[in-house]
């Protein structure tokens, strides 16, 4: 009852936080979630031009925002979703200047200086194929992957965290968390020699790092990622919790056109070769030389408009059905040793009943009489399998081969809704770009079977949802945070996040 009451208070608090702050939104930075465009407007002589209206239009969504250059001719539009934009500048007495194909990336400023020519406003100068300016606003060292790179680059298990290893200065840790703690298979990566837990993960601006395990909480599906930026050095102070690297992920948003994808990746053991040291004989239980190994990953995505130029949606699903087989070479007691005959081991066995340790007599031929064997020990030995391989050193070591398969099933889906609403109080313009809802849910179960028929099962469900999130299937304590953001005068949004893992 206490956990349910706590979750109810959490939801109410998150909704009230959004409702109250809607009446008076404070300006805060959200560059880690979005990108920006900025620059200086000048005339042909190089003089700065104040009062220039700069209109920025998303080519995918046809959403439009306008800013005005200040007395220094400088303009800036932040809180832009990653994508391609068109920038148009106009001022009385000058020709319109239009720049197409301006790319905006997450946590990055696209510098674009604009030059206006004298002429009528009805005249237009279109600039295409221009070279972006050298970045001078920050000195971070980062690697950026776009959606097509993430889906086209070969990754055997479609694990997003493997892309972190493509960044210079990264190295995978020699050991990994157990599947019971890390059912998503997230890799532990050291950046520039720093401890793996010093790498922070951001998902749509939400903290996405497990504070205990030091790994990513929600390992996003590749179909849902619009862009990711992996910063290894000189990141901004806003990432104060990071000591190694920063991995920022921006999920996909819908556009004015309906689009989608479908995929399936299948692997099997049909063309897998046998290990001559551990798979030289068929398993007596299954009759197979190779343990069953199959992996099937499948899914689809769809995105499009809810209301053209206003509201957009994107969703995707990915399922994993994996059975991974393996063999191990081990050591068990020989048949002779089970009868008390240790002559093949080459280690003297002494009779404990023949006096002090220094003067004890050795059993004849290293054989313990049948009547001296412990009944309890014999009962335990009956539970241990007998040797099934020749082994080494008279068959006393590496004389048993065990094989088995691990099964893993996971279902992941993401849902995102973006909309443009009227500005809350505190914003000056009549319209603004506000991300209304972003939800990411993951549910996975892993069961492993192997030597000794050991079984491990784990279920983990995590959520990152804007405004509110609760999981009735989990009894774990829910951690949440909520904040309203407004970069006056044009953009406002609300974000409340929650993670509810159980492992």
Domain ranges of the chain: 1-30+426-439+455-503, 32-127, 140-251, 333-384
What is the C-alpha to C-alpha distance for residues 122 and 95, in angstroms, rounded to an integer?
Answer: 7
Query: Considering only the top CATH level, what class is 140-251?
Result: mainly beta
Q: What distance in Å separates the CA atoms of residue 215 and residue 92, rounded to the nearest whole number?
A: 55
Cis peptide before 142 (omega within 30 of 0): no
Given a cut of 60, is residue 478 above it in pLDDT? no
Confidence class for position 450, pLDDT limits 50, 70, 90: very low
Range scoring the smallest mean pLDDT among 8-22, 220-234, 245-259, 339-353: 8-22
Mean pLDDT of 450-459: 33
> Looking at the predicted structure, is the pLDDT value of residue 387 above 70?
yes
pLDDT digits (tens, 9 = 90+) for 410-438: 898 888 988 877 544 433 332 333 344 44
Residues in the chain, total: 503
For the segment 459-485, the average pLDDT, to the nearest whole number, is: 32
* Residues 6, 478 contacting (CB under 8 angstroms): yes
Give the whole-number percent of the chain exceeding pLDDT 90: 26
Q: How far is Cα 311 from Cα 294, in angstroms, rounded to an integer?
A: 41
Question: In this predicted structure, what is the pLDDT of residue 131?
Answer: 63
pLDDT of residue 133: 63
Report whether 286 contacts 296 (CB < 8 A).
no
pLDDT score, position 134: 67
Does residue 254 contact residue 304 with C-beta atoms inside 8 Å? yes
CA dist 58 and 331 (Å) reads: 65
For 32-127, CATH gives 2.60.40.10
pLDDT at 501 over 70: no
pLDDT value, residue 240: 72
pLDDT in tens, 313-359: 999 999 999 888 888 889 999 999 999 999 999 899 999 988 888 88
How far is the CA of 38 from the CAs of 102, 121, 273, 491, in angstroms?
Answer: 11, 22, 57, 16
Q: What is the pLDDT of residue 155?
A: 85
**DSSP-derived pairing of the beta strands 124-127 and 96-104:** parallel
Q: How many helices (H) and strands (E) does the chain have?
A: 4, 24
The residue behind tokens 């700069």 is 54
Taking alpha carbons only, the member of 365, 124, 128, 417 closest to residue 251 is 417
Element (H, E) at 28: none
Of residues 183 and 228, more confidently modeled: 228
Of 141-145, 210-214, 321-325, 484-488, give the lowest mean pLDDT range: 484-488
For the stretch 88-114, pLDDT in tens is 999 998 999 999 889 888 888 888 999
Q: List CB contacts of 313: < 8 A, sequence separation 6 or more.
A: 254, 303, 304, 305, 306, 415, 416, 417, 418
Tokens 């094989």 label which residue? 403
């Amino acid at each position: 009852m206490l956990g349910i009451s706590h979750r109810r208070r959490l939801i109410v608090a998150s909704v009230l936080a959004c409702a109250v702050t809607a009446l008076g939104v404070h300006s805060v930075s959200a560059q880690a979630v979005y990108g920006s465009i900025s620059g200086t407007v000048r005339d042909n002589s190089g003089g700065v031009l104040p009062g220039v209206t700069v209109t920025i239009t998303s080519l995918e969504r046809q959403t439009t925002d306008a800013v005005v250059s200040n007395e220094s001719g400088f303009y800036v539009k932040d809180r832009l979703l990653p994508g391609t934009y068109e920038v148009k500048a106009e001022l009385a007495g000058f020709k319109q200047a239009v720049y197409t194909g301006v790319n905006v990336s997450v946590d990055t400023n696209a510098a674009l200086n604009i030059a206006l020519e004298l002429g009528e406003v009805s005249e237009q100068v279109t600039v295409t194929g221009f070279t972006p300016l050298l970045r001078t606003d920050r000195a971070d060292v980062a690697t950026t992957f776009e959606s097509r790179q993430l889906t086209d680059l070969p990754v055997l298990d479609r694990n997003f965290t493997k892309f972190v290893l493509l960044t210079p200065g990264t190295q995978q840790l020699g050991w990994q968390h157990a599947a019971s703690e890390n059912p998503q298979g997230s890799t532990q990566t050291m950046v520039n020699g720093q401890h793996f837990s010093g790498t922070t993960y951001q998902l749509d601006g939400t903290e996405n790092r497990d504070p205990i395990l030091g790994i990513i909480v929600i390992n996003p599906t590749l179909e849902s990622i619009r862009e990711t930026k992996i910063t290894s050095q000189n990141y901004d102070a806003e990432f104060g919790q990071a000591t190694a690297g920063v991995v920022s992920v921006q999920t996909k948003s819908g556009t004015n056109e309906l689009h989608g994808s479908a995929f399936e990746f299948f692997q099997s053991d049909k063309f897998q070769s046998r290990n001559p040291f551990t798979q030289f004989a068929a398993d007596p239980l299954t009759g197979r030389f190779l343990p069953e190994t199959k992996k099937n990953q499948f899914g689809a995505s769809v995105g499009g408009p809810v209301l053209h130029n206003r509201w957009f949606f994107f969703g995707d699903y990915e399922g994993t059905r994996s059975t991974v087989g393996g063999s191990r070479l081990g050591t068990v007691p020989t048949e002779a040793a089970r009868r008390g005959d240790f002559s093949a081991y080459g280690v003297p066995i002494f009779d404990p009943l023949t006096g002090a340790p220094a003067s004890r007599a050795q059993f004849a031929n290293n054989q313990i009489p049948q009547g001296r064997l412990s009944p309890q020990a014999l009962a335990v030995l009956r539970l241990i399998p007998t040797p099934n391989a020749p082994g080494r050193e008279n068959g006393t070591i590496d004389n048993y081969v065990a094989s088995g398969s691990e099964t893993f099933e996971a279902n992941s889906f993401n849902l995102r809704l973006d909309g443009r609403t009227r500005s809350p109080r505190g914003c000056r313009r009549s319209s603004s770009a506000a991300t209304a809802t972003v939800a990411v849910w993951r549910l996975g179960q892993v069961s492993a079977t192997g030597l000794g028929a050991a079984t491990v099962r784990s279920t983990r469900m995590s959520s990152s949802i804007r405004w509110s999130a609760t999981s009735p299937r989990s009894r774990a304590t829910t951690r949440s945070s909520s904040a309203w953001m407004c970069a006056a005068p044009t953009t406002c949004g609300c974000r409340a996040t929650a993670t509810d893992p159980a492992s």
